[in-house]
Structure 1
Amino acid sequence: MGVAGEIQATALVAAACRAEETRQPAPRLTDPYAERFLDSLDAAGRALLAAGRDEVVHRTTLIDGLLLDEVRRHPGATVVNLGAGLCTRPYRLDLSACREYVEVDAPEILARKATVLGGAEPSCPVRRIPGDVRGLPALGVDGPAVLVTEGLLVYLPPAELAGLAATLGGLPAVTGWLADVVSADSARAMAAVAGRARAGLALHGLESMDTVERAGWAVADYRLLPARRPAARPTGRPPGPSVPASRRVLDGVVLLRPAAPPRTVTGQAVS
Structure 2
Amino acid sequence: MAGQRPGIDILAQENGQTLKALIPVAGQSMLSRVVGALDLCPRISRIVVVAQDPQLLLSGDTARLLANPKVRLTPSTNGIASSIAAIAGSALAPWPVLVTTADHALLTPEMIDEFLDSCEGNAKGGDLAIAFGERRIVEGGYPRTSRTWLKFRDGHYSGANLFALRNAKVMPALTLWSGVEQQRKKGLAVISQFGPLLLLRALTRTISFRNALAKAGATLGLKAELVVMSQPEAVIDVDKPADLVLAEQILRLREKSEAACA
The TM tier, using the shorter chain, reads 0.3 to 0.5
Greater per-residue helix proportion: 2
Q: Higher relative CO (CA 8 A, sep ≥ 6), structure 1 or 2?
A: 2
Output the TM-score relative to the length of structure 1. 0.33
